[in-house]
Structure 1
Amino acid sequence: MNTAQIIDKAMVATEKAGAFLLESARKIQKSDIEVKGSNDFVTYVDKTAENMLLEELSSILPGSSFIAEESGISEKRGEFTWIIDPLDGTTNYIHHVPLYSISIGLMKGDELVGGIIYEPNAKEMFHAVKGEGAFLNNSKIAVTQNPKMADSLWATGFPYHQFEKLGEYMNFIAWSMQHTHGLRRLGSAAVDMAWVACGRLDGFFEFGLKPWDVAAGTILIEEAGGKVTDFSGGDKHIFNQELIASNPYIYEEFFKNFHEIFFRK
C-alpha cells in the first residue's frame, strides 16, 4: 500500500470522527469540560474522537506509532508515525462556535509524507501526499501569488498560556494591522494552515504550537507551493513551537519586518 492509498483510507476514518464531533456538539455540557491548564480545555469528545482515530489508523498501518494530543507519545514501533489532534479548536467547540478541525500528519522516519485536515462543519477535507500536491475535496489547491504585505490577509493565534512574549507579539500585531488588509484569529491553527494552502489567506504565524497543531498543515502548505519555517527561518517548526507559513513570494518581506519588530531589543 503506497502513501496515497494510506491517506485515502485515513480520510475515511477522519470523516467518521468528524461526524462524531458534529453529533456531539449538540450535546456538550459545561460539566463535560475538563481544564488541562490555563485556557486549555479537553472534553470526552476529544478523548473519544482520538480513540476512534487511534483504532482506525492502527488498523490501516499495523505497528505504526502515535504522537497524539490527549494520549501523548506512544512507544516507537515502526517506520511510520501518526501525529493527531482529534479536535483542534476545543475552545470554539465548547462555546458552540462552528469552526474546528481534525488534524492528522503522517511521518515516515523523520519526513512528513502525508497530511489531512478536516473541517466537518463545512465538510471540507484537505489532504496532501508528499510529491503529489495538496487537495480540497479532491480538487488541487495552491497558495496565493501575492508578493506584497500591503495587499495581504494573515491569520494568527493568541498565546493562551505562554505570555512571556506577549508584548513583542502585540507589537507585531499592531504593525500588521497598519500594513496589511488585516489579521484573522480563527481559533484552529490547522484550519489557519489549510486556508493558507488553498489561497484564502496569504500567511499564518504563531508561537506555542504543538506538533499535532502543525504537522498536517505543514505538508499541505508545502505541497500547495508554500513555505513553512520556524521564527529563525529554519526547519524546526514542527517540534519548536513556533511557525511562519506563507506563499513564497511574500515570505521575505514578512520575515524581515517580523524580525525587526518581534526581536527588537
Structure 2
Amino acid sequence: MDLKNITSEVCKVAIEGGAFLKRERLIFDKNKIEEKNSHDYVSYVDKETEKILVKKLAEILPQAGFITEEGTADYAQEDYYWVIDPLDGTTNYIQDYAPYCVSIALMNKGEFLIGVVYEVCRDECFYAWKDGGAYMNGKRISVSDTFQMNKAFAGLDLPYNDKTYKPVINHLLDSLYGKVSSVRFCGSAAMALCFVAIGRYDMWAEAFLKLWDFAAGALIVQEAGGKVSDFAGNAGFCDNHYIVASNNKLHSEIISLTSGYQDKLS
C-alpha cells in the first residue's frame, strides 16, 4: 500500500470537505442546530460534510470500513477503516470562531497509518503517514524544542463532561497558570494536536475524547517527533479517552499533573 500517495488523495478530500464548510458558514442558520448532549452540538453541516467525505474516501480504498462521528457509514470489522470527524470544533464553527477542521485517519487493526487534518480558517492542511514524517501545506514540521516548564506554551480544553472534569481542569490550571509561559483553550482536539505537532503548543491535555477526535492528530504529533499517551503516560491511549500530547521533552512534567486523575475519570 502506497501510504504517501493515498495521503495526498486524502488531503484533497479533506480540503474539499473544508470548502463545503466554508461555503455553508456564509449562510449558516443557527436555528438548525441540534444538541446531542448538554452543550454538545451538531448541525446539518456536520452530517452533510461527513457524507461528502465518506463518498470520496470509499473511492480511494473500497475495502475499508468507517468509524464516523455522525454515523453516516458503517464499520463491519474491516481490517482497514477510516476514522472521520467531519467538523471538529462544531461550537467554534457555530460561533464563527477559529479554529475548526476536518479530521481523517486511516487505521489498520488499531494501528495509525494516515492522519490528515484540514483547518478551514487558515487554509492549513496537516498530514502524516506512518514512518513518513509530518507536514503542513507541503512543508515538513516538527514539535518544539522547549524543555523548561516556565517557557512552555500549554494547551488545555474543556470536555462536555463538566461536573466530572471540573476537579481536573481546576488542578491543571492551578498547576500551570503563572508557572508556564501561557495557557490557551483551543476548542478542537484535532487542531490542538496539530498545534503540538508544529510547535505552537508545547503540551496539551484533554479527556472524554472519542477516537475520531484524536486519531489523525495523534499520528501527526508522533510523526513530528512528539509523544502522545493517556493521562498515566501509557502508550495505549486508543483504549481510553484521556489524551496528553507534548514535544516529548516536557511529557513527564505534564503526566505528573494528570496521572492521579486517570482512574477517577473512568
Query: 1:102 deviation in Å?
Result: 0.6
Once the two structures are superposed, residues 167-201 of structure 1 have per-residue CA deviations (whole angstroms, 9 ceiling, x without a partner) of 13212212110210111111111111101000111
Once the two structures are superposed, residues 130-186 of structure 1 have per-residue CA deviations (whole angstroms, 9 ceiling, x without a partner) of 001000001000001111111100111112235223113212212110210111111
1:147/1:249 contact within 8 Å kept: yes
| Counterpart residue identity of residue 50, structure 2 | E
Once the two structures are superposed, residues 57-83 of structure 1 have per-residue CA deviations (whole angstroms, 9 ceiling, x without a partner) of 001000211110000772325321111
2:54/2:73 contact within 8 Å kept: no
| Counterpart residue identity of residue 87, structure 2 | L
User: Which aligned pairs between 1:224-235 and structure 2 lie closer than 5 A?
Assistant: 224-235=224-235
| Counterpart residue identity of residue 104, structure 1 | I
2:231/2:242 contact within 8 Å kept: yes
2:108 is aligned to 108
**% identical equivalent positions:** 35
Measure, in 2, the Cα distance between the counterparts of 1:202 and 1:36.
32
Measure, in 1, the Cα distance between the counterparts of 2:156 and 2:257.
16
Measure, in 2, the Cα distance between the counterparts of 1:117 and 1:194.
8
TM-score, normalised relative to structure 1: 0.95
**What stretches of structure 2 of length at least 5 have no aligned partner?**
none
1:84 is aligned to 84
Q: Structure 1's 222 and 28: CA in aligned 2 closer, same or farther, altered over 3 A? A: same
Query: 1:233 deviation in Å?
Result: 1.1
1:255 is aligned to 255
Measure, in 2, the Cα distance between the counterparts of 1:213 and 1:219.
12
Q: Structure 1's 64 and 48: CA in aligned 2 closer, same or farther, altered over 3 A? A: same
| Counterpart residue identity of residue 70, structure 1 | E
- Is 1:118 aligned to residue 113 of structure 2? no
Measure, in 1, the Cα distance between the counterparts of 2:33 and 2:190.
22
**What stretches of structure 1 of length at least 5 have no aligned partner?**
none
Measure, in 1, the Cα distance between the counterparts of 2:70 and 2:239.
17
Of 156-165 and 214-223, deviating more is 156-165
Q: 2:66 aligns to what SS in structure 1?
A: strand
| Counterpart residue identity of residue 183, structure 2 | L
1:168 is aligned to 168
Once the two structures are superposed, residues 192-218 of structure 1 have per-residue CA deviations (whole angstroms, 9 ceiling, x without a partner) of 110100011101100011101100011
Q: What is the root-mean-square deviation in Å for CA atoms of aligned residues?
A: 1.8
1:168/1:263 contact within 8 Å kept: no
Q: 2:113 aligns to what SS in structure 1?
A: strand
1:193 is aligned to 193
Q: 2:170 aligns to what SS in structure 1?
A: helix
Instruction: List structure 1 runs of 4+ shifted beyond 3 angstroms.
Output: 257-264
How many residues are matched?
A: 264
1:64/1:77 contact within 8 Å kept: no
Query: 1:118 deviation in Å?
Result: 0.4
